[in-house]
Structure formats: structure tokens, C-alpha cells
Structure 1
Amino acid sequence: MKTPILTDIYRNWEEIGRFKSREELQLDLELYKKLLDIVRVGDSDHFLFDPFLRKIVMTSVMFGNVVVLRPEELDVDYLMNNIHPECLPVLGDFEATVAEFKKSLPNDKLTKYKSRYNYRFRTKRGEYVHILQQSNTVLADEDGAVLRNLVIHTDILEIAPFQRMKLSFIDLEGEHRS
């Protein structure tokens, strides 16, 4: 079920990820998997996301640690419809801010920033977990269209009980922007 908030979120994704004809995109995720294992602070899942198509195009082999789903069950609507109702409006504002931030960057900087924010998410078992979502554009075209984002969900409930939502932007080359 699409709500006005979800419609706005989806429109923001389309704005930053214009569709262009292109050959099948191939990414070597082995390096990402190794790096993620090193920096994980809790159970985490990761996937590649095509913002224009609103489609998850690849999931981690271990997917299901956080959202408790098999990879073939996962789609964007499922994720969006299981965000805690109190968190969804704030998440909508965050996604609009992320889209504006990405549109303001020069093309060569798109892959150099990640966004991160937290929210509550209902698992398939019906319980809420506290998710830290980190997203980084890993592939963009020469016109600045976002083709693929690497999204990491980490369950941080044990180390940070949910209090409030916060959005940050981090320059992967060293500068921290909030």
C-alpha cells in the first residue's frame, strides 16, 4: 500500500537515479563482503539498490540476519511497509534530504559520501529492531544518475536502544558532514 509519504520517497529516488539504457551492471562484491565483516557492530544485511527502478538487485548471501527474510522474499515495498509508523514521516524527510544532497554534489563526488540514519523496523516475527541504515552510491553514470547504492542494515538495539532518529552524511575521504 503506497501512502503519500512512500510516494514522495519513491519520487525522490527516481529524481536521483534516472533510468538510462545500459548493459547489465556487474560488481565484484567479494571485497565489500570482506570489508563489511571487519566493521560490523551487530547483525547486518546488505543489498544493492537501483533507486530509479526501486528494485533490490542483489542481496548478501547472509541476508535475513536483521529483517529475518529470505533474499527472494525481499522487496522495497516490504521494507518500506515495515518501518515503524512513527518513524516513517521522519524517514521520508531524511530521504528527501539525501536526494537533495546527492543532487547538489558534483558527479565525481557521488560515490565519495555515505548517508546514515536510524529507525525502528518490524521483522517477520513481528518484533521491532533498531536499524542503522548506511547507504553509499557505488555506481553512477557520467551525468550524475545514481545507478546502484550499497545499503547496509545493522541491528543496533543491543548497543543503542531507540531514542530518536538522526541523519548524517559522511565523506568517505575524511570530512564528516551532519
Structure 2
Amino acid sequence: MSNKNDLYLEVKKYWASVAGKEGNVDFSTLQAQIETHKRLFNIFQAGSYFFLLFDIYNGEIAEVSPGLFDVLGYTQGELNMEEYVNKIHPEDMPFFLKFEQHLFNFYHGLTVDQIGQYKVQYDLRIKKKNGNYARILIQYIIVNHHGHDLKHSFHLHTDITHIKNEGEPHFSVIGLNGLPSYYDIQKTITSSSSKSLFTAREREILKGVVEGKSSQQLAGELFVSIHTINSHRKNILAKGNVKTPLELVRKAIIEGWI
């Protein structure tokens, strides 16, 4: 199992937690809400975009619009949610997990009437079919819930690469109809750092490990021997208080070490 699969499985736990039990869906009501939010999202467009309906309980894409091809080069049905998560840039993976962890607590702190009155907004770099990365502004709102059990969210994913081609992801939750908004939340929830735990060289190697690179690849890139790389990897495991590379990757993503 790869580290990217681990990221999907980890974040899926949070989706399942907020979804509660699977229930019947009133699709006519759901479709009416989606059309309303399409009009809301269409007021301002900063670039090419596509819509996505996310089934929170199953952690899966329920529907996606044809714009997916224009933005990322994939056709409808070519990507499931696990594969989409796998396309997140390795450096943005810890941000994504932290954001979803925060939203788990945020939605549970709202009243039932407030749940559909907040728009989530954050950006991530997603790998396109041609191998390049696009910075995608992800905006979504809950459109189907039973009490505090969240069932479906409706997303607008917009390519903002031409506006923001570098820098860390930003995360905000926007209140609608007079509710308070929370901006730049990432400043308070992504403060975990590896700088005090690992040396600069160890951080380079840790990043490579998370990206799935072998000791031989890292040795070639860093112009050192495989023995040196393996020695660093052993020290990283000890400092991270883990026993296997798989445990290391999982903890590195959760703790935001990369």
C-alpha cells in the first residue's frame, strides 16, 4: 500500500465520521439545491472550472461535470475520489489532511440549521493528466445532511494557477446569510514543524521517502552513497518514533513534517 493510498484511507475516516449512517436520499430536493448553488458559484469565475457532487458517506465522487477535462485533462468516469486524492502534490498532502480534520470538528460544533450556511474554501495543487500541476481552488457547501450526519457536498473546483502559482495552500470557511467567516485558518492548524526534529538533510530525505523515492534514487539526487541515505533513514525512523517506512510516511503526513 502506498503513502497516497494511506492519505485517502486516513481522510476517509473523517468523512465517514461526519456522514454517520447511510440514509435515503431525496434526489429531487438535492438537485434543486445543486442548481441553486450552481447559480451562486457562477457569479464569479476566476478560471476554468468543473462541478463535483461528493458522496461523503462512501467517500466517492457521485457526479462530475465535463469541465473536468478542460481543467485537468481527465474524462468523466476516469477518476474516482481515491485517485483524485492521489493526484494531490506531496507537499500539499499534510495541508489537505489538516483541513479535513479541522472541518470534522467545525461541522460538529454547528447547529443543524447552520450546516448548509457555510462555504468551505481551500486551494491545492493537483496533478493533471499531462503530468503538470494545476493549482485548484476548491469550494464546497453541504447540500444534503440528516441532522449532523453529512451526506453530500457540492463542489466547484477552479483552476487558479494563473493567479497563484506558488506558496502554501490557504484555507477559509465563509459564513453565508450573516454568519461569521474564518479566514486563513491554516495559520493556526498547520503549525506542526519538522525543523526542530530533523536536520535539513533529513528533511530532504523524508520528503523523498514520502514521495515514494528509493534509497538509490535519493543517493543519485543528493550525490551521496546509498549507505549514507540508509543511515539517515534509520535516524529519521528513530526520531519519528516509528518502526517502518509505512508508519513514517503516515505520521509525516498527519504531523505535517513535509
Question: What whole-Å deviation, never above 9, does each CA across 1:31-69 have from its counterpart, x for those lacking one?
Answer: 444443332111111111011111111222433222221
1:21 aligns with 2:23: yes
Contact 1:6 1:92 in 2 (8 A): no
Larger Rg: 2
1:157 aligns with 2:161: yes
Match in the other structure for 2:104:
99
Normalised TM-score (structure 2): 0.64
Amino acid in structure 2 at the alignment position of 1:148: H
Matches of 1:74 and 1:87 in 2, distance apart? 19
Matches of 1:108 and 1:43 in 2, distance apart? 32
Amino acid in structure 1 at the alignment position of 2:177: E
Match in the other structure for 2:115:
110
Secondary structure (helix, strand or coil) at the match of 2:22 reads coil
Match in the other structure for 1:60:
65
The verdict on how the C-alpha distance between 1:75 and 1:39 changes in structure 2, with shifts beyond 3 A counting, is same
The verdict on how the C-alpha distance between 1:158 and 1:30 changes in structure 2, with shifts beyond 3 A counting, is same
Secondary structure (helix, strand or coil) at the match of 1:13 reads helix
Question: Aligned ranges for residues 1-178 of structure 1 at < 5 Å?
Answer: 1=2, 3-23=5-25, 25-26=27-28, 27-28=31-32, 29-141=34-146, 143-174=147-178, 175-178=180-183
Deviation at 1:24, TM superposition (A): 5.4
Amino acid in structure 2 at the alignment position of 1:153: H
How many equivalent pairs are there?
Answer: 177
Please give the root-mean-square deviation of Cα atoms over the aligned residues, in Å: 1.8
Matches of 1:105 and 1:172 in 2, distance apart? 13
Structure with the bigger RCO (C-alpha within 8 Å, sep 6+) is: 1
Amino acid in structure 1 at the alignment position of 2:117: K
Question: What whole-Å deviation, never above 9, does each CA across 1:119-145 have from its counterpart, x for those lacking one?
Answer: 11101111001111111101111x211
Q: Identical aligned pairs, as a percentage?
A: 26
Match in the other structure for 2:206:
none
Q: Mind listing any 5+ residue stretches in structure 1 that lack a counterpart? A: none
Question: What whole-Å deviation, never above 9, does each CA across 1:134-164 have from its counterpart, x for those lacking one?
Answer: 11101111x2111110111111010122211
Deviation at 1:23, TM superposition (A): 4.3
The verdict on how the C-alpha distance between 1:108 and 1:68 changes in structure 2, with shifts beyond 3 A counting, is same
Matches of 2:136 and 2:162 in 1, distance apart? 11
Q: Mind listing any 5+ residue stretches in structure 2 that lack a counterpart? A: 184-258
Amino acid in structure 1 at the alignment position of 2:162: E
Amino acid in structure 2 at the alignment position of 1:25: F
Query: More helix per residue: 1 or 2?
Result: 2
Query: More strand per residue: 1 or 2?
Result: 1
